[in-house]
Each structure stands twice: as structure tokens, then as C-alpha cells.
Structure 1
Amino acid sequence: MGAARGGFFRTGPLPGGAVSRRARVAVVAAALVAGAATGGCAGGAGDRAGDGTPPGAHGPSSTVPSPAPPATSSAPAPSPTPPATSSAPAPRGPVAAELSIPSIGVEDLDVVPYEGTTDDRPGTRIQDRGVAASPYGERGGVGPGDIGNYLVTAHRLSAGGPLRELPSVEVGDKVHVTAEGTVYTYEITETRSTSFRSTRSLAEQRAAVPGEPGEKPTRAMITLSTCATPEDNAAGNFWRDALHNPEHRIDKVGVLTSTRPA
């Protein structure tokens, strides 16, 4: 067979003499088939994959390049915004305290907080120990120094009578309450009378603004309360409730004027 040049085969006379045209065509076809099997297109993609796809049908490599990483900024990420805070002091709530009323000689009287209302059974039991009681919660008051009505009750005659002289406290007298390292000073502004037989009167005593049920408080206030037993007896009023409390109580109301470290 003649050598392959220029991309085609020279078909000159073959060894052994002349051959027919049909024979020469058969020889050329056989040569073309042999060339495709040994050289071809350098292993087409279809051959490598074994899917029968003709060589070169896949075109360029089908490998998909990885996506470029997202652009990044050299600026630092913003810091999270801190939650808003209020400069107002948090309510002190129910804490033990000590009460001093210089004008009547009361000094460092223990005030025990409890959940309830003025002169109820738990409160009366505390007073029976010779100390003062301070109710808090839905039917009570607030803690020392808090906005609202800080209620403090104690016996006048029994259990040592710690508030025996409370009726003589006058407008302008100072009351000091010490709690958790702070002294709260109140100034007495008025005297009130509460009737245990009047729902309205009790509501006024226990209101967040003393004497004004339903009003929203804007100041820290205090109500000091003790029984009016001698006055009721003198008037012939011997009514008592189930806890032996007389009908009336004497209340001294004050407003917070200053605070200082204890």
C-alpha cells in the first residue's frame, strides 16, 4: 500500500500487478478503517465515558468551574445594638427595713414585709411580735423608696406598743426608713383616719396615692398606721373585727424628701 501523505492515500500500482478499480476501492476503504482505529481523534470523550457518543461530540470539557467566592469587605462587622436601658432605679420591692421616728423616740423598729393587706391575719401576727408589718402585692403597697404607697402598721397598746405615740406626730416631722444600705427620709404631710367598717375608707388608706383610689402615683409616699382604740373606747365605740382590731386607725402620711447611704 502507498504511504499516506497530505491527508490522502496515493493509489499507484500495488505489488503483484494491476488490479481492478473495484479492488482498489476496497483497499482504500480498508486503509481508512485501520487509520481510524489506531489514531483517530485521540480518544474522544464518548469513548472514555463508554456511552457510545461519537468522538468530539461533547465538545470542550464538561467540567463546571467552581463559582468565585463572594466578595468580602475589609470593614469590620457592626457591633450589635445593646438593649435600651432606663436610668430610673428599679423598684426595691418587699425588703426588710428599720423605721425611726425621732419626734416620738422610735428608733430602729424592725419592719417585716409580707404579701397581703393592712392588718389582715398575717399582718396582725407580725405585729403581735412587737415589730411593724409592711404588706405588698395586689392589695398591699410598695417597698421603701419606691413610687407609690409604702404601708407600715404596728400596734399601739399591745406587744410593747411600738407606735404608742404615733398620734402625736405632726406635719413636718421626719421619718427615716433604712433598707439595704440606703436611708429614705419622708416628711409627714397629713393625718388621716381609716374606718375598718368602710370599704371606701380602706381603699383610700391602701391606694397607691393615699386618699385617692385609682390615681396613678408619681411620688414615693409612706403611710404609718396604728389603732385608735383609746379614742374609739372614749367615744363608746367598742366594735371589733375578727382580729380584735377597733373600727378606726390613725394614719400619718408622708412624702419622700431625700435618700442617702446608710
Structure 2
Amino acid sequence: MAIPAAGVRGLRVVAYVGTADDRPGTTIQNRGVAASPRGQAGGVGPGEIGNFIITGHRVSHGRPLERVPELRNGDHVLITAGRTVYDYVVSRTMTISFRKPAEKAQQNAAVPGKPGAAPRQAMLTISTCATIEDHAAGNYWHDELGNPEHRINKIGVLVATRPA
């Protein structure tokens, strides 16, 4: 994965069966790479119709997604898989609370932010912690895996593909 506006180049994304920010995904992220949950409770692969979810650390384990919260609408996220580059463009930001199951469901939905909606396009959710923002607000809550209360999700849509 490459995110030019955030200085990310060549970040490895490891696919696994699961949901965003679960124990297997956290174990992957703790290696300094990004995790991509797949399957009925997770997301789809790059270029597929639905929500391609990528999670990674912002303040620990190499901080691969440290600058993701800075992304603006129109910034590009490039995913190279096999012989294809998938070009997604950030279209919005969604912040969710880990304490609210309905908000976690929005992050994992096939259409980000709309649980139960049928997907019609290839979309991307890049998710990282809001630890800095939570701590600045005096919120030091975290779950058993160390996830802070809030996640910052950058949502994008697939705009182009090209040979790698």
C-alpha cells in the first residue's frame, strides 16, 4: 500500500479471516504491518465490490499509519495486489467509538457507515486509532487489546485500476 499524502510507501497489508481490530488483526498490526479482515464479518479484497478494510497502528509498532488522520478528500491510496494497482480516492472521514456496537458495525459494514446496505461499488476503509485525540480530551479508556475508544476511518472509492 502507498498513501503519498501521508508518506506511506510499500506498507505490507496482511489479509486474514476476522473483523477489524480483533485479536488476530491486532497481532498482525503489532508486527508493524497493516491488517485486512476478510469474510462475512470482515471486508472484501482490493478492487472487489464492498468494503476493503485496512487497519494499522498510528502511535506504536513503527507507526505505519501515523499521518492517516491528515488525509483530505481527494487524496489517493494505491493498493498493489498481484499485477494490478487499485487507485482509491478518499471521499470522507468517519470516526467511531469502540464502546458503541452500532458504530463498530458502521466501520465493518459492506457500505461504510451503512450497516445492512447492499454495496454497489468498491470502497476502502483505512482505520487507525484516535489515541492522540482521546488523550487530549482526557479519555484514557481502552479495550482489552489496547484499542482506544475512538477510531478514525478514512473512506475511499475505487476510481481506477492499472497494471503494476
**Moved beyond 3 Å, runs of 4+:** none
SS, match of residue 51 in structure 2: strand
Q: CA RMSD in A?
A: 0.5
Q: 1:162 aligns with which of 42, 64, 81?
A: 64
CA distance in 1, matches of 2:57, 2:105: 21
In structure 2, how many angstroms separate the alpha carbons of the residues matched to 1:144 and 1:160? Answer: 24
Paired position in structure 1 for 2:92: 190
Separation in 2 of the partners of 1:201 and 1:118?
12
SS across alignment from 1:107 = coil
Match of 1:250 in 2: 152
Structure 2, gaps ≥5 residues long: none
Question: Which structure has greater strand proportion?
Answer: 2
Which of the residues 116, 119, 125 maps onto 1:214? 116
**1:173-222, CA deviations, whole angstroms, 9 ceiling, x for partnerless residues?**
00100001100000000001011000110111110000011100000000
The residue that corresponds to 1:176 in the other structure is 78
What are the superposed Cα offsets for residues 127-148 of structure 1, whole Å, 9 maximum, x if unpaired?
0000000001111000000000
**TM-score, reference length from structure 2:** 0.99
**1:228, distance to aligned residue in structure 2 (A):** 0.4
1:113 to 6, 15, 22: 15
2:3 counterpart of 1:101: yes
Structure-2 separation of matches of 1:199 and 1:240 = 15
Number of aligned pairs? 164
1:69-80 mapped onto 2 (5 Å cutoff) = none
| CA distance in structure 2 between the aligned counterparts of 1:168 and 1:238, rounded to whole angstroms | 22
Shift of 1:104: 1.2
AA in 2 matched with 1:190: R
- In structure 1, the residue corresponding to 2:138 is in which secondary structure? coil
Q: Which has the higher contact order (CA 8 A, sep 6+)?
A: 2
Name the CA distance, whole Å, in 1 between partners of 2:105 and 2:59: 25
Counterpart-to-counterpart distance in 1, 2:60 and 2:83: 31
Give the partner amino acid of 1:140: G
CA distance in 1, matches of 2:6, 2:131: 19
Distance in 1 between the 2:147 and 2:108 partners? 17
- Map 1:9-48 → 2, pairs under 5 A: none
Note if 1:142 corresponds to 2:44.
yes
Identity %: 59
Counterpart-to-counterpart distance in 2, 1:224 and 1:136? 14
